[in-house]
Structure 1
Amino acid sequence: RFAVPHVARLAEAVRRAIHEIRAVTLWLREGTGDPVGLLGLSLGGYLTALSAGLYDDLDFAIPMVPPVCIGDLAWHFHRQSRKTRGAGADAPAFAYDELRRGYRIHSPLAHALRIPRERVLIVAGRGDRIVPPEHPHALWRHFGSPAIHWFSGGHLAPFGRPGIARAIRQHLRSLDLV
């Protein structure tokens, strides 16, 4: 379960997801001999970016609208909640810095990129209000300015966008993977 406010439980869920991603990528590589990479959207983009900072054998990594700091998102959503606005509002359970520290262990920004940056394509939405553009931009800087494709729109806008599919295809072609 990812949608839990408990820092330790979320860390365990991320650990399990990364373990399963690793097991599947190794199984695919051993079973097929074909190139293996990751493409993930939103939380999948987070896990894709994190995997690219943990493993050096991915043939490509394409994080789409990836958050990079769960603490930032939790703080942002808490501040936007009706329960936290106006007189008598609930105070946050944690301070902003506490949230950032609590979720830092599995942030993609806590790990250096382990694959060549040429294998990375970040896809980000200029109008994303769930994962603000600052997140993919921070990942882009942290990963040493790999290719990035910006699209107009929000978090769910990648679906059915030919420009995004074209950018992904071009990226995979540049790596001789398709």
Structure 2
Amino acid sequence: MTEPFQAPPVPPIPVPDVAGADATARGLPRRVDLTWQQRLVVDASAIADLGLRTTIASIVGAAMLPRLAGAAWHPSRVATEEHALDFYLDLAAKHDPELSFPAPTAAARVSSRPANPVATWMAHGEVRNLRFQSSFEAINPALRDQRRGYTRNNVVHAQHWVHKDGPHPTLCVIHGFMGSPYLLNGLFFALPWFYRSGYDVLLYTLPFHGPRAEKGSPYSGYGYFADGMAGFAEAMAQAVHDFRSVLDYLEHTGVDRIALTGMSLGGYTSALIASVDDRIQAVIPNVPVVTPEAAFDDWFPANKLVSLGNRITRVDKAKSDAATMFHSPLNYQPLIPRDRRLIIAGLGDRLAPPQQAEILWKHWDRCAFHWFPGNHILHVSQPDYLRRMTRFLHPFMF
């Protein structure tokens, strides 16, 4: 097996070599604690991230428009929204992950075929594309017929990098919103480096992304927000359910050590899964959002559309925020031991502000916490946190 502490590759996006560090017992550093180089990078990357945030917020806002128009023209839908809100609010109040996210009851019939030559070239090994029919049923019975109708979304996709000498400890990766291409994630997360270090790698495709996007979707991920708050809740529930089917498949093939990481929406999902399934040896949310309703408050113009939607449907914002706790990792206790949790945050991130990661850190009993001075996309000093991830994972995985 290749030495796990070898030097990581140069990141695919050239970035300044300005190091981050682990958080202290107090949490993230104050501005005065940073060097002038770190302050410069944080400020510059934060300004750059504002443009990205506005773009993403505009895309999310556009997905909400048909729903808002329907509510305005059909007042009867207001009652439907209110019932959905009450349903998720009641579930959230129980703080019971088994009730909120029931496990799959039957093993998935997974088909596996060789991936394209580009994937094989990038991994320098055997790569398989997996797919299977999702067994997910909407948590809210009133939405089951609607969710069954999303035929493309209900076929689960993943890519599996495997070694020929049998199953290895496996690193599972969950992409961010709109960021589903396997090639993109392989390069961004330096997955060939992890593969050469002895890991099998599995890249999981979230609902409504990539090949799971329904026909006519204007972009990958559109379906996450197209059905309003209830649709987002069900998409998160399906993301957890389908990933648990992936865990079943990995166990069936002989894998006995699994680590999970994810970025942004994938970080949010990985943190939630860590509160639902105890078969994961370690979890590493990367630039996660953990209170989406609070993050949206700063996402212009999506925040204005959410506010308009609440007025049209006469929904109380405090009640709506409480209902979103149904799928927040803050609503449940983690099942992964404290010493197997690591959170990564960017101080210049304005799409998933570092305060979001700090909230999760406090909920997770002040576990390991690493920061870098970049933003949501530009992960300055990424080789540092790749080494940090490797040192963190090695005792549990090998």
Q: TM-score surpassing 0.5?
A: yes
- Write the distance in 2 (CA, Å) between the matches of 1:43 and 1:109: 15
The equivalences for 1:6-45 within 5 A come to 6-45=228-267
- Write the distance in 1 (CA, Å) between the matches of 2:281 and 2:298: 34
2:301 is matched by which residue type in structure 1? S
After TM superposition, the runs of 4+ consecutive aligned structure 1 residues lying more than 4 A away are none
Q: Determine if the alignment matches structure 1 residue 81 to structure 2 residue 297.
A: no
Q: Which residue of 2 aligns with 1:104?
A: 325
Secondary structure of residue in 2 paired with 1:3: helix
Q: Which residue of 2 aligns with 1:3?
A: 225
Secondary structure of residue in 1 paired with 2:344: strand
Query: Is this contact kept in 2: 1:36–1:60, CA < 8 A?
Result: yes
The equivalences for 1:134-145 within 5 A come to 134-145=355-366
Q: Determine if the alignment matches structure 1 residue 146 to structure 2 residue 367.
A: yes
- Write the distance in 2 (CA, Å) between the matches of 1:158 and 1:38: 19
Query: What per-residue deviation string (whole Å, max 9, x for no partner) do you get for residues 126-171 of structure 1?
Result: 1110011111000000011110110101111238821121111111
Where does structure 2 lack aligned partners over 5 or more consecutive residues? Answer: 1-222, 311-315
Greater RCO (Cα-Cα under 8 Å, separation 6 or more): 2
The equivalences for 1:41-56 within 5 A come to 41-56=263-278
Query: What per-residue deviation string (whole Å, max 9, x for no partner) do you get for residues 59-118 of structure 1?
Result: 1111000100111122221xx33995xxxx995433542342131100010011111011
Residues 33 and 5 of structure 1: CA distance in aligned 2, closer, same or farther (over 3 Å): closer
- Write the distance in 2 (CA, Å) between the matches of 1:57 and 1:126: 31
Q: Which residue of 2 aligns with 1:66?
A: 288
TM-score by length of 1: 0.87
Secondary structure of residue in 1 paired with 2:258: coil
Where does structure 1 lack aligned partners over 5 or more consecutive residues? Answer: none
Q: Which residue of 1 aligns with 2:192?
A: none
Give the fraction of aligned pairs with identical amino acids, expressed as a percent. 32
Residues 160 and 22 of structure 1: CA distance in aligned 2, closer, same or farther (over 3 Å): farther
**Segment of structure 1 superposing worse, 142-151 or 96-105:** 96-105
- Write the distance in 1 (CA, Å) between the matches of 2:367 and 2:245: 26
**Which structure would you say has the larger Rg?**
2
1:174 is matched by which residue type in structure 2? P
Residues 33 and 131 of structure 1: CA distance in aligned 2, closer, same or farther (over 3 Å): same
2:382 is matched by which residue type in structure 1? R
Secondary structure of residue in 2 paired with 1:38: strand
Residues 162 and 9 of structure 1: CA distance in aligned 2, closer, same or farther (over 3 Å): same
1:37 to partner: Cα distance: 2.1
Secondary structure of residue in 1 paired with 2:225: coil
1:2 to partner: Cα distance: 1.8
Q: 2:340 aligns with which of 102, 112, 119?
A: 119
Aligned-residue RMSD, C-alpha? 2.3
